[in-house]
Structure 1
C-alpha cells in the first residue's frame, strides 16, 4: 500500500490556490501516503503504550491480541508467530520488516514517499523526517527492552507530532497540501472507527448485552488510545458510559480525531480541489460519498447506533472509506495501462 509506479498525469489548481500550476499524480499519491503513514505510526505507538498500561482481557492479562484484531492482521501475525505474547506482538508491530504495518516498515514507506516529493516539501520537513526515519530504521527489539516501551512510544508520538507541526508551519498551501490533508483525514477516520469497533466489543462484560455498564478504567483506555481522554473529561467530568464515549469519538465536532470532524475536513478539502473546473468532475463522486457518510452520522444518536448495531455501522463506514480511497486513486493516479508486447519492444529499441 502506498505510492508505487504511477502515470504522470498533471492537473491544475492554479485558479484555486497559488503556487504550482500542475501537480504530477505520483506527487499527489506520495503526499497522501506520507500523511497516512505518519498518522498510522503515531496511532500505533499510542495503542501499544495504552495497551501495556491499561488494557486487560477477561483473564486479567494484557489484551495484546486486540491490536492484532484492530489492524485486521490475524492471518499475517499467526503465520509468523504462535501466540499473541507481549514480545511477539511488539516485535511484529515495532521492528518486524516482514509486517508492512510495523512501525519500522511504515517508517521506510514514509522515507520513500518523502524522497519522492522532495521538490515539494520544505527543508524543515525533509530534515525532521530524515532524522526520525533513520532512528526508527535503526530500532531493534533490544532497544525496547533497554529503554522501556513507554519511552520508545513517547518519542514516536513526539516525533510524529513534531512532523505535523512542522508541516503545518512550513508546507506551501498548494495542491500538495490538499492531498496531504486528504491522507491525514482519511487515516484518522479509518483509525477511529476501527478503535471503536474492536475495543467496544472486547471490553464488554461477559454474558451481558451491548450497552451494559463497564469498568471506567477500561473505557478510559479507549479514550487514551484516541488521545481523547482530557477532551472528553472537559465535557463529561463525572459520567463515563459506553454511549458517551462512542458519541464523543464519533460525533463531537470539537475533537480533532472524531469521525465527524474528519469527515467535515474531507468535505472541505474535496471542495477546494473541486473548485477548479478541470477537477470538478473527478471530485463529484468523492464528494457524494463523503456527504452520504456525514448524513448517516448526523441522523443518528450514539444510542441509536449502538442499538441498531455498532459493529455493522462501523463495518459499513470502513467499507465506504476504503471505496473513497480507491476512488481517489482512480480519479487522480489511475493505473498505467499495459502496452501491447510488440509496442513495448519497439519503444525500448
Structure 2
C-alpha cells in the first residue's frame, strides 16, 4: 500500500476516534460537571488539553470558553471541529481506497458542524458528535475488507484511544482514592455501563482501576486497546519503526504481567508509560512511513 494512502487512512481513523474522545471528556468534565470555582474550571481546562495531547494556556476560565475552544474552534488542533475537518480532508486525499459511504458520512459531518452552540445545548451537541463518530466507525467495521486499509484505520483509532485513555488515568482529573472520580473516568472512557454490569454497587477504586487498566474484554480498557494496536502494528509496521514497535511490545508485556490487586497503585505510572509509547509509535510512523519527500524541481 502506498505510504501516502496509508498515512491518510491512519489519520482518518485517528481523527474519528479523537472526535469521540474529546466529546466524551467535555461532556463528563465540563458540560455535566457540578459548578466549581474559577480555579477549578481553569484546572479542568488545562488537564483536558493535556489528556487530548496538546498543551494550552489557562485562558479557558469557564465552561463556555472551554467548550468553545475544545469543541468548536477550527483553529484549535485538539478540538472536535479540527478533528472532523482532519478526518474529512484525509479521506478526500484517499478517495481511491475510502468507501463512498465513509466519505459521505465524514463530508456530511463536516458540513453540519456548528460554529456556535448555546451553553445549555452543549450536552446535545456532544452527543451528536459521538453519534457521528460511531457512524463513521460502523461504516468501516461493517463493510470494509480486513485488508491494509482497514488495518491502518484501526491502528489510528487504537493508538489515539490508547494514548488518551492512558493520559486520563495519569492526569489530575483522576483522584485514585475517590469513588466519584472513578465514576467520572469510567463514563469519560465510555466504560461506565460495562463496568457496572453484573455489579450491584458503586465503583470501588481498586475494581475500577483493574477494569480500566487490565480488563481483557472491554474495548475501552487500556490492556485491550494496547493489544489491538500491537496486533495492527504486527501486521503493517515496517522495519523502520521496529524500535518503537519493540518498546510498545514491552509495554504490552508489562500490562499483561501487572497483578489486578496492584492496578490502583500503578495507575499513574502505567498511564504515563503507555501514553509515551503510543505517542512514540505515532510520531515514528508519521516521520518515517507516512511522510512523502518533496518533489525535486
Question: Equivalent residue for 2:253?
Answer: 295
In the alignment, what sits opposite 1:167? 140
Change (3 A) 1:75 1:332: closer
**Higher fraction of helix:** 2
Q: Which residue of the partner structure matches residue 273 of structure 2?
A: 316
Establish whether residue 144 from structure 1 lines up as the match of residue 118 from structure 2: yes
Counterpart for residue 12 of structure 1: none
Residue number in structure 1 paired with 2:14: 36
When residues 123 and 184 of structure 1 are mapped into structure 2, their CA distance, relative to the original with a 3 A threshold, is: same
1:261 to 224, 235, 240: 224
Q: TM-score, normalised by structure 2?
A: 0.88
The residue that corresponds to 1:109 in the other structure is: 86
Displacement after TM superposition at 1:150 (Å) = 1.3
Structure 1 gaps, min length 5: 1-22, 205-210
Other structure's SS at 2:118 match: helix
C-alpha change, 1:75 and 1:252, in structure 2 (3 Å) is closer
- For 1:113, what is the secondary structure of its paired residue? helix
User: Where does structure 1 differ by over 4 angstroms across 4 or more consecutive aligned residues?
Assistant: 56-64
Deviations 1:162-188 (A, max 9, x none): 111111122233221111111011011
Cα distance 1:64–1:258, how it changes in 2: closer, same or farther (>3 A)? farther
Gaps of 5+ in 2: none
Matched residue SS, 1:238: coil
TM-score normalised according to structure 1 size: 0.76
CA contact (8 A) 1:51 1:63 kept: no
What residue number does 1:16 align with? none
Count of aligned pairs between the two proteins: 295
Alpha-carbon RMSD: 2.7
C-alpha deviation, 1:67, in angstroms: 4.3
User: For residues 220 and 153 of structure 1, what CA distance do their matches in structure 2 show?
Assistant: 19
Do the aligned partners of 2:21 and 2:189 also contact (CA within 8 Å) in 1?
Answer: yes
In the other structure, the counterpart of 2:47 is 69
Q: For 2:252 and 2:55, how far apart are their aligned partners in 1? A: 33
Greater C-alpha Rg: 1
Change beyond 3 A, Cα 1:61–1:69: closer
Name the stretch that deviates more: 94-103 or 32-41: 94-103
- Find the counterpart in structure 2 of residue 10 from structure 1: none
Aligned-pair CA distance for 1:119: 1.1
Q: Distance in 1 between matches of 2:192 and 2:234?
A: 32
Residue 329 to residue 140, structure 1, CA distance change in 2 (3 Å): closer
Distance across 2 between alignment mates of 1:104 and 1:74? 15
CA deviation vs aligned residue, 1:221-244 (integer Å, no higher than 9, x gap):
211111111110125332522221
Taking the TM superposition and a 5 Å limit, the aligned residue runs for 1:4-153 are 23-52=1-30, 54-56=32-34, 63=41, 65-72=43-50, 76-78=56-58, 81=59, 83-136=60-113, 139-141=114-116, 143-145=117-119, 148-153=121-126
CA contact (8 A) 2:74 2:82 kept: yes
| Distance of 2:86 and 2:234 partners within structure 1 | 28
Q: Distance in 2 between matches of 1:239 and 1:182?
A: 33
Query: Aligned equivalents of 1:203 and 1:165: distance in 2?
Result: 30
Distance across 1 between alignment mates of 2:186 and 2:22: 14
Alignment correspondent of 1:329: 286
